[in-house]
Amino acid sequence: MAETWIVLGASSSMARALVRRLAARGDGLILAGRDLADLERDAADARVRGAAFAEVVRFDAREPACVAPILARAKACEGTVSAAVFVGSMPPQAEIDADPGLIEGVVTDSFTGPARLLQGLAPIIEARGAGTVIGVGSVAGDRGRISNYVYGAAKAAFATYLSGLRNRLGRAGGHVLTVKPGFTDTAMTWGIEGMFLVASPDKVATDILSALEKQRNVIYTPFFWMGIMGIIRLIPERVFKKLSV
């Protein structure tokens, strides 16, 4: 029996690119998000491309009540159930500075909302002795920068969470892949100035799939961001605090 994937944030173009590849290998897909009418079109696309099945469920990271029905659906699936998390939101830092009330939403979207669902999925993976969690973080989580430190903090929290979850699920036959994309050409970044080395969503999806095959734990995509972030992490804090990178 093929694998079933719960995809949170399925409307992201990165998710869409991965879903197409998973569909082509015949996996089952549960596309979770807020824009259900549009996700139905993604589900149709997945079916045409060969998915065993593709359906849509509502997931709003900020509504804890969404979690239970998705978990119930997961339990009802035979075989391996895996999850891929693409949820995240990045309001401009200036808006957050003006309205600190936004912080909670950013942290919920990138961390606590998805974590709540994964927390419920973990026992299912453990019970079945198989299953993968793909968590999309960001290079922004590797170091807090003046231009988006709240978003970065949420992504750092998610990465730390994934590390712990890996530790837990690894013992039971599960696997956790943390993905840290650099600048990617998606709706989130359309029109943002000053981006460089921008990758396509397809590139991110290809990297994710090959990392899955190799059972990698943490990847940067494209790979060169590992080098860039390695250097950025090495800069002493007393120097870094004066930079605007």
Ligand X SMILES: NC(=O)c1ccc[n+]([C@@H]2O[C@H](COP(=O)([O-])OP(=O)(O)OC[C@H]3O[C@@H](n4cnc5c(N)ncnc54)[C@H](OP(=O)(O)O)[C@@H]3O)[C@@H](O)[C@H]2O)c1
What residues make contact with ligand X under the rule CB under 6 A?
Answer: 9, 11-14, 33-35, 59-62, 86-90, 109, 136, 138, 181, 183-184, 186-189
Residue 180 Cβ, how far from ligand X at the closest point, in Å?
7
Member of 25, 48, 63, 243 binding another protein (CB under 8 A)? 48
Host H or E run for residue 23 = helix 13-24
Are β-strands 218-221 and 81-85 bridged in parallel, bridged antiparallel, or unpaired?
unpaired
Asked whether position 37 contacts another protein by CB under 8 A, the answer is: yes
Residue 89 contact partner, candidates ligand X, another protein, none, CB within 5 to 8 A by sort of partner: ligand X
Asked whether position 45 contacts another protein by CB under 8 A, the answer is: yes
| Helix, coil or strand: residue 28 | strand
How many residues bind to another protein according to rule CB under 8 A? 17
Nearer to ligand X, 124 or 198 (CB): 198
For residue 188 the two structure tokens come to 């989130």
Q: Of 142, 156, 161, which is closest to residue 240 (Cα–Cα)?
A: 142
Residue 191 contact partner, candidates ligand X, another protein, none, CB within 5 to 8 A by sort of partner: another protein
Host H or E run for residue 40 = helix 36-48
Strand order in the sheet with 28-33: 53-58, 28-33, 4-8, 81-85, 132-136, 175-181, 218-221
Q: Of 68, 178, 193, which is closest to residue 119 (Cα–Cα)?
A: 68
Member of 4, 13, 108, 148 binding another protein (CB under 8 A)? 13
Q: Of 92, 89, 145, 90, which is closest to residue 114 (Cα–Cα)?
A: 89
Q: Please report, as residue ranges, which positions from 74 to 133 form the binding site for another protein (by CB under 8 A).
A: none
Residue 136 contact partner, candidates another protein, ligand X, none, CB within 5 to 8 A by sort of partner: ligand X
Query: Residues in the site for another protein, rule: CB under 8 A?
Result: 11, 13, 16, 35, 37-38, 41-42, 44-45, 48-49, 186-187, 190-192
